[in-house]
Structure 1
Amino acid sequence: MDSGKTFTYEEAFAASLEYFGGDELAARVWVNKYAMKDSFGNIYEKSPEDMHWRIANEIARIEKKYANPMTAREVFDLLDHFRYIIPAGSPMTGIGNNHQIASLSNCFVIGIDGDADSYGAIMRIDEEQVQLMKRRGGVGHDMSHIRPKGSPVNNSALTSTGLVPFMERYSNSTREVAQDGRRGALMLSVSIKHPDSEAFIDAKMTEGKVTGANVSVKIDDDFMQAAIDDRPYVQQFPIDSDTPEYRKEISAKDLWGKIVHNAWKSAEPGVLFWDTIIRESLPDCYADLGFRTVSTNPCGEIPLCPYDSCRLLSINLYSYVIDPFTPHARFDYDLFRAHVRAAQRIMDDIVDLELEKIDMIMAKIDSDPQSAEVKGAERHLWEKIMRKSGMGRRTGVGITAEGDMLAAMGLRYGTEEATDFSVEVHKTLALTAYRSSVDMARERGAFEIYSAEREKNNPFVARMREADPQLYEDMAKYGRRNIACLTIAPTGTTSLMTQTTSGIEPVFMPVYKRRRKVNPGDPDVHVDFVDEVGDSFEEYIVYHHKFLTWMDVNGYDTKKKYTQEEIDDLVAKSPYYKATANDVDWLMKVRMQGAIQKWVDHSISVTVNLPADVDEALVNRLYVEAWRSGCKGCTIYRDGSRSGVMISVSKKDKKADGASLSQAPAPCKQPEVTEVRPKELECDVVRFQNNKEKWVAFVGLLNGYPYEIFTGLQDDEEGIVLPKTVTKGKIIKQTDENGKHRYDFQFENKRGYKTTVEGLSEKFNPEYWNYAKLISGVLRYRMPIAHVIKLVGSLQLKNESINTWKNGVERALKKYVVDGTEAKGQKCPVCGHESLVYQEGCLICKNCGASRCG
């Protein structure tokens, strides 16, 4: 437990480096993301051993409440060195950590029953989303309840604006919430039956729009069949009504073609095969009791009902392969079953720990100085989550290292043989986890609304009944402790600490190159690369950990410096050959997902990685195959597609043929330079801290692209008085009779009245004004945004206030960088690799997954 002693970053890194056997990347990831810290960044754990004892002691404390408790030592041995059981990020950082009051749940779904299309309900969802994100939760919610564009509403607006403006609202709210250096995560979904679904599908194709959310379309079987058969399809609102207010007939084939095109172009929207999700869902057997599934978490692996949440945990599949990478490799099913039983038990204990955390959160809300009116909504939100979490006791036992497990068994990912083996492993996991949940029901009691009668026709239950009749009989007799148990999540940075492949995915690359800066005058230095500013770099080879194990087992020297040809030859001899993320058999990967899905009661987060040169016909084929194979969802990522989002241009600008953006593929054209500024420009408002003062940036947009920037001090007698709720408006250029220019900012308040802030240019001291003019100048001549940000960052300024102002301007501009743009010349602070790309305004490391926002 926490002794109160703190450690420096250097102390924790050194101890962790030893713990991970010299793996710098794993050590930095653990210290940066998972070591217990307080709100000031003080570190209370020296290595993962301390963390695992913290978790083990808390699990053991809960275990003592029940019969046949596990000891702290037993739990620790399952966690130690990330060998067998690995709690996900939120439980790992939050269990036993009383320095920060945060939920242990990785993901939530919200949604208001009743008059959910009212403006008040839409705003309440916005508030609840932000409240959950500040507690580290990822959030999903569905938008199918919002009236389609142009339909009548009972207020002064007369007609609805439709889905897209609210998508942008929810996206902006997500971008504003920082979670320990990372932005909130949001999933927005909509039914394909909704009349505005096409606008939803197109929303992210405009550069800079809805950048704070993942978007997925809920597709029903009737639509899929209509698209395949080229039949009409009826959209309506409300989508589930027998007497809808509005109906229209569309071409399913055309709309499906748009989904496929956009996914090929920009990797979104994802697709959720909603009839499959609902048909297979055990919680939906209790839909009338509040467990009707409405959306998913941001990565799609947990379909949820409103105000339910889920905590996640992974089992390291590689660790159950005996004699890996040898002809007599075998899977230890007995040990695996024992650990799955324990994992499900630990997950149920974590539900109890989460209920304690929710009590702490509500106590914190009660003690906050705000009025009951202000904090009442947040407290009611957590009351609803407490009730739903306690009622269903949902868990999320999953796996990681699927790719390494298959390779260690001598099986090639994506083959029939490998798929059959994986299915057997996941079937074993499912039956064992459910056996554990039934045993806990006998010892601890079933979840309170369990009903064998309600579940008897569920397809997932039917498969279990056929595979293990005794399990079904016992479940009908004793009930089950948890309403649903299983998932497969993307394990991300967690897999860096297990030193394995991530989740269900194949290895990304078994061998790759990195560069490190060197002094060419040092002895024994080999200069392989000199960059544009003259810095020298040495290239070195990085091996996937389990590829090194294969080399060692098969007698290859792991210390030797191999040529590229020798490396290619090694890979070709290994079980990782033709089994990487970019060269597996894509159709077989989708079929494998569908086959495994039959033994996962929630869903599976998996991405089909495609090379840049594939056509849309392949994307179409993969999506259709995913539906037919029984997948609950599918995400396609074509290499480079994130940067393929077109910049918004007006109809009159479609003939623009300026040079291609340096950060985008050739088809993306840069907007034309507009030398004469229009009198009015649309404008985004971005707030930031300048030293300890509150500042605001006005980013003028021409055809959705930054054209100029103004900044000023906010809420000051001599500064800019601006309501906190304002995020958009117009910048209007005024010219007096003497030809002198003035820039005004105009916004619309909640009552629809237009308010103007006059004379923006007069709100600056000369130094800020001059730098803003410089930045606006390069923006107007269409220097790529990533280059503008680099220019701002390179300004040599000595004054501290100027530097924090500079950081604020960088933050204001980052949201307009095309996703996928490389941050050239910048190194990842975690792994040191030059592999940073812009994604939704953040810098993301493609190598280790670390992120930096703001």
Structure 2
Amino acid sequence: MAELQIFSYEEAYDASLQYFKGDQLAARVWVTKYALKDSFGNIYEKTPDDMHRRIAASLAGVERTYSNPMSEEEIFQLLKDFRYIVPQGSPMAGIGNDFQVGSLSNCFVIGLEGKPDSYGGIVKIDEEQVQLMKRRGGVGHDLSHLRPKGTPVKNSALTSTGLVPFMERYSNSTREVAQDGRRGALMLTVSIKHPDSEGFIDAKMTPGKVTGANVSVKIDDDFMNSVVTGEPYIQKFPIDSESPEVSQSIDASVLWQKIIHDAWQCAEPGVLFWDTIRRESLADCYADYGFETVSTNPCGEIPLCPYDSCRLLAINLYSYVKNPFTPEAEFDFDLFREHVGKAQRIMDDIIDLEIDKINLILDKISEDPETEEVKRTELNLWNKIKTKTAAGRRTGCGTTAEGDMLAALGLIYGTKEATEFSTKVHKELALAYFRASVDLAEQRGAFKLYDADKERNNPFIQRLREADPGLIERMERVGRRNISCLTIAPTGTTSLMTQTTSGIEPIFLPIYKRRRKVNPSDENVRVDFVDEVGDSFEEYVVYHQKFLEWMKINGIEEKENLTNEELEDLVAKSPYYKATANDVDWMEKVRMQGEVQKWVDHSISVTINLPKDVSEELVGNLYMAAWKSGCKGCTVYRDGSRNNVLEAMPKKTVEKNNHNDHNSLSGLIHLPDHTVKRPYELEADVVRFQNNKEKWIAFVGLVDGKPYEVFTGLADDEDGIFCPKSVNHGKIIKATDENGKKRYDFQFINKRGYKTTIEGLSEKFNPEFWNYAKLISGVLRYGMPIDQVLKLVGGLDLDSNSINTWKNGVERALKKYMPNGTVAKGHKCPNCGAETLVYQEGCLICKTCGTSRCG
């Protein structure tokens, strides 16, 4: 093989910036996340053209193993410029990538046969979860098989602790796993039938708890009917048993109101309408072969059976609008159907590539130096995934740019006309994908379990039959290549590269202002804004790419400096007016999801964005409408939910600069004038991080669940602190040594159940680190809010590289305790520059562009 050329980051970024026509965010995302790299960070691709050539070459290799293959050039043209067919994250990064041994699947679900409620089963799922996350997979699993709190168990505990403590266990495992700055993603689910479901629903209401997982409750039709009629609802364990060990009658409306309140307050739990999911699922027609759906992936768009996985791909809907943003605009259904068929063929090729990747994973595990006993779980895990992948050949074909497609056609997202057109597009999409899967069955063979009789009464198949009887007649004759085909996922960073709206969502903002810091003494500089610390900024306008195309097509001049009134007037003239995430008719958005869902055999990831002042009653009405509309799930996000509640003193006004047209206001945080007296012992979390190439460990003492003090040092048994990797929690004890000197020890319970003590945490510090740690612990003890502590720590601009790296590790340790949704005041998004960063599960998420930064 010819030696690959290495490019510097600057070379790749500059070339990609030109490729994306000056879009800095798109260029940075591509170089950082998707350009081919080795483990040393060397970059081997200069622009996305190189990446698409790599992907096309691998897919063409698969095509050549079948009849009537597509050529490499044909595949490349479908991928080029992200215009038509767009593989999602894991396939885009992994196809043709020989530098990493990883899966091409975006998401997995795991679970044990027989659903054993034992520590052995709990630990096994924990290990499998971590093994998948380390290879870039998002994971989901269900907790409905765990015994409710207080039921008898045959061990020294005598009674079960219930499922809530294990939510924290799985959450902590997720937080430990990171790949190239990308933290693991986890979905935890439970059935509403479970007697502990109320505790599950409330688990994330405590700040800092279960921060490493999304949570959704599986709601059945009986429960919803009980909410409507007021009839009692029976919870039981086991949840599907006719003679349960535990049974209790509850008022469904009371639990329903708790779900609504928690969703209103902190955006979780999400709801999954489980009977709808199971009833509509094609894979569940084969439940007796192990394809019973038990949970979903972290974003909820792929309900899966245990040990199945899915790869994702999106069709860029905007690219099928001819004459966009003009009275002659129309959707090219003929080209759309042709490309959808080829997209399904490409997805089937990716399954073959995934099986090859799994074989490489299995080979690597076999060659690893660990003992066979250590490797057994991981080997069994990947063998089960390989079996399910080959048996079902599941695909996850979807769409992106829904919002831009509608705007380009002159339709306003969230209106009945737009919903009707979207439904038509997704109906044609479903028919084209299933026709292609039947074509592939004729050419390559059906998935091995296909049985027309099992599917005959499935509602989704019945809709396909009504729309195209010939399709189903041919399917029943020759079979189908793929057990399930369709989804609509959040396209996240991928939509930044397609330069379109994301997934099925409306546009977030078509135009907004961004700030760049300037030196006010420089010649010809314009100062538009002065912040609370006196830094000067110039404001300029950032346009959504398709909004910019609307302007160009309609002869509207692009300007960098517009007043807020001019911005509002410009948006009001556009087809994006009243169609942003916060403007759309919420109830119509739910109805749209329900109508489109009829033509999606998996599910749809969609979030209803709500303003801060909406009532809990509205959230309840939206959830009820989602169930009645046939949605498979629903998530709401109320602006400001999960924010940390701080008592603020009256705000001060910063003196206006001559060029300023508005004031900058900064709230003064009121701190208590006394500190909590330190108890003899504190609950404590353990957080591990890297300091340059050294492994470090932090012990965070807690009072009422909030950080009170920090100890940290090297994580080794010679010069630092040795603490087993399995230990995530314990207690910090104030002790006295044999010389009467006070010290702090860390105590935990080891795997054998014995209390173990690490003595002298305060003695494990390098003196320089210790001084800064005392400063941090001091402000924590006096009640400074975590966001302000992080700002303080981040502002320690020190000469020592070692100290600065350690400082970043301490920041990472403390971010765990930021309540989800808290605004990161004074921080700007590194990609788009917007001041819309919020903390989400320890990461900073930009609400403007979706960029995330963890650790």
- Whether the TM-score (by the shorter chain) exceeds 0.5 is yes
Distance in 1 (alpha carbons) for counterparts of 2:337 and 2:236: 48
The letter of the residue matching 1:759 is G
Letter of the 1:687 partner, please give it: R
Matches of 1:793 and 1:126, distance apart in 2: 33
For 1:303, the equivalent position in structure 2 comes to 303
Contact 2:236 2:248 in 1 (8 A): yes
Deviates more, 1:194-203 or 1:742-751: 742-751
Post-superposition shift, 1:605? 0.2
The 3-state SS of whatever aligns with 1:641 is coil
Does the CA contact (< 8 Å) of 2:314 and 2:397 recur in 1?
Answer: yes
CA distance in 1, matches of 2:740, 2:51: 67
Q: Find the aligned partners of 2:405 and 2:676 in 1 and give their Cα distance.
A: 60
Which position in structure 1 is the counterpart of 2:169?
Answer: 169
Farther-moved stretch of structure 1 (555-564 vs 253-262): 555-564
* Corresponding position: 1:687 with 2:692: no
1:403-423: CA deviations, max 9, x gaps? 111111111111111111110
The aligned counterpart of 2:264 is 264
By how many angstroms is 1:733 displaced? 1.9
- 1:305-704 to 2 correspondences below 5 Å: 305-559=305-559, 561-643=561-643, 674-704=675-705
Q: Aligned residue for 2:790? A: 789
* 2:218 aligned with 1:233: no
Quick one: which amino acid aligns to residue 459 of structure 1? P
- Following superposition, the deviation at residue 23 of structure 1 comes to 1.2
Compute the displacement of 1:694 (Å). 3.3
3-state SS of 2:532 partner: coil
* 1:210-248 residue CA offsets vs partner (Å, 9 max, x unmatched): 000000000001101111222221111110111111111
Task: Report matched runs for 1:189-204 at 5 Å.
Answer: 189-204=189-204
- Whether the 8 Å contact between 1:742 and 1:760 is mirrored in structure 2 is yes
SS class of match (2:298): coil
- Asked if the contact 1:661/1:670 (under 8 Å) is kept, the reply is no
Q: Distance in 2 between matches of 1:673 and 1:557?
A: 58
TM-aligned CA distance change 1:587 to 1:288, over 3 Å: same
Contact 2:713-2:766 within 8 A present in 1 as well: no
Amino acid across the alignment from 1:725 = S
| Aligned residue number for residue 821 of structure 2 | 820
Aligned ranges for residues 110-121 of structure 1 at < 5 Å? Answer: 110-121=110-121
Separation in structure 2 between the aligned mates of residue 848 and residue 413 of structure 1, nearest angstrom: 19
Which 5+ residue runs of structure 1 have no aligned equivalent?
Answer: 648-656
CA displacement at 1:745 relative to structure 2: 1.7
Encode CA deviations 1:418-462: one digit per residue, 9 max, x unaligned. Answer: 111110100000001000000100000000000000000000000
User: CA separation of 1:337/1:522 partners in 2, compared to 1, >3 Å: closer, same or farther?
Assistant: same
Q: Which residue of 1 aligns with 2:50?
A: 50
Matched, 1:713 2:714: yes
Aligned twin of 1:10: 10
Cα–Cα, structure 1 residues 529 and 36, in superposed 2: closer, same or farther, change >3 Å? same
Paired letter, 1:118: S
* Alpha-carbon contact 2:540-2:560 (below 8 Å) kept: no
- Which residue in the other structure is 2:803 paired with? 802
1:2, 1:54 within 8 Å by CA — same for their partners in 2?
no
On the 8 A contact 2:234/2:249 being kept in 1, the answer is yes
Q: CA deviation at 1:689?
A: 3.1
- 1:788-811 CA-to-partner distances (Å, cap 9, x unmatched) read 122223224333433332222222
Check if 1:96 corresponds to 2:96: yes
**Amino acid of the residue matched to residue 179 of structure 2?**
Q
What secondary structure is seen at the aligned counterpart in 1 of 2:642?
A: helix
Note the residue ranges of structure 2 that are not aligned, 5 or more in a row.
653-665
Report the AA paired with residue 253 of structure 1. Answer: S
Are 1:28 and 1:831, in contact at CA under 8 Å, matched by a contact in 2? no
Could you tell me which residue of structure 2 aligns to residue 183 of structure 1? 183
Are the aligned partners of 1:608 and 1:636 in contact in 2 as well (CA < 8 Å)? Answer: yes
Moved more, 143-152 or 540-549: 540-549
| Alignment of structure 1 residues 241-252 onto 2, 5 Å | 241-252=241-252
Counterpart-to-counterpart distance in 1, 2:330 and 2:44: 40
Cα contact 2:509–2:848 (8 A) shared by 1: no
Residue 738 of structure 1 deviates from its aligned partner by: 10
After superposing the two structures, state which structure 1 stretch, 498-507 or 732-741, moved more: 732-741
CA contact (8 A) 1:2 1:44 kept: no
Specify the code of the residue in structure 2 equivalent to 1:234: I
Asked if structure 2 preserves the Cα contact closer than 8 Å seen for 1:827 and 1:834, the reply is yes
Deviations 1:563-613 (A, max 9, x none): 332322221122111111001000000000000000000000000000001
Residue of structure 1 equivalent to 2:657:
none
| AA matched with 1:331 | F
> SS at 1:642's partner residue?
coil
Q: Deviations over 1:598-641 (max 9, x none)?
A: 00000000000000010100000000000000000000000011
Q: In the alignment, which residue of structure 2 is the partner of 1:847?
A: 848
Q: Tell me the number of residue pairs that the alignment of Structure 1 and Structure 2 aligns.
A: 841
Alpha-carbon distance in 2 for matches of 1:520, 1:692: 40
Change (3 A) 1:544 1:756: same
1:659–1:670 Cα contact (<8 Å) kept: no
TM-score, normalization by structure 2:
0.95
Q: 1:738 to 1:40 in 2, by over 3 A?
A: closer
Q: Which moved more, 1:58-67 or 1:277-286?
A: 58-67
CA distance in 2, matches of 1:127, 1:573: 55
Distance in 2 (CA, whole Å) between partners of 1:131 and 1:568 is 49
Describe how 1:75-224 pairs up with structure 2 within 5 A: 75-224=75-224
In the TM superposition, residue 824 of structure 1 has moved relative to its aligned partner by: 3.4
Amino acid at match of 2:456: K
Shift of 1:659: 7.6
Residues 661 and 669 of structure 1 are in contact (CA less than 8 Å); yes or no, is this contact kept in structure 2? Answer: no
Deviation string for 1:674-696 (max 9, x for gaps)? 43211121111112334444332
Q: Distance in 2 between matches of 1:461 and 1:158?
A: 49
Aligned CA RMSD, in angstroms, stands at 2.2
Tell me the secondary structure at the aligned position of residue 677 of structure 1: coil
Match of 2:771 in 1: 770
Distance 1:723 1:660 in 2: 48
CA change 1:290–1:660 in 2 (3 A) is: farther
Are residues 145 and 642 of structure 1, via their aligned partners in 2, closer, same or farther at CA, if it must alter by over 3 Å? Answer: same
Q: Give a deviation string over 1:519-542, Cα, whole Å, max 9, x none.
A: 223344321011233221111111
Work out whether residues 658 and 670 of structure 1, in 8 Å CA contact, stay in contact via their aligned partners in 2. no
Contact 1:358 1:386 in 2 (8 A): yes
Q: Aligned residue for 2:662?
A: none
Residues of 2 paired with 1:719 and 1:28: CA distance? Answer: 38
Q: What SS class does the counterpart of residue 777 from structure 1 fall into? A: helix
Residue by residue, what CA displacement relative to the aligned partner does 1:776-833 show, whole Å, maximum 9, x if unpaired?
Answer: 1100111111221222232243334333322222221110112223333434333344
Secondary structure of 2:643's counterpart equals helix
Q: How much has 1:115 moved relative to structure 2?
A: 4.8
Structure 2 CA distance for partners of 1:499 and 1:800, relative to 1, 3 Å: closer
Conservation of the 8 A alpha-carbon contact between 2:107 and 2:310: yes
Q: Percent identity?
A: 72
Aligned 8 A contact 1:177 1:184 in 2: yes
Q: Distance in 2 between matches of 1:373 and 1:786?
A: 45
User: How far apart, in 2, do the equivalents of 1:737 and 1:8 lie?
Assistant: 57
- The aligned counterpart of 2:659 is none
Shift of 1:473: 0.3
- SS at the partner of 1:141? strand
CA distance in 1, matches of 2:449, 2:193: 31
Q: 1:26 to 1:762 in 2, by over 3 A?
A: closer
What is the distance in 2 between the residues matched to 1:692 and 1:8?
22
CA separation of 1:419 and 1:124: change in aligned 2, threshold 3 A: same
**Per-residue deviation, 1:670:** 8.3
- Name the CA distance, whole Å, in 2 between partners of 1:659 and 1:700: 29
Change (3 A) 1:568 1:766: closer
CA 1:55–1:672 in 2, change beyond 3 Å: closer, same or farther?
farther
**Does the 8 Å contact 1:232/1:251 carry over to 2?**
yes
Distance 1:602 1:745 in 2: 48
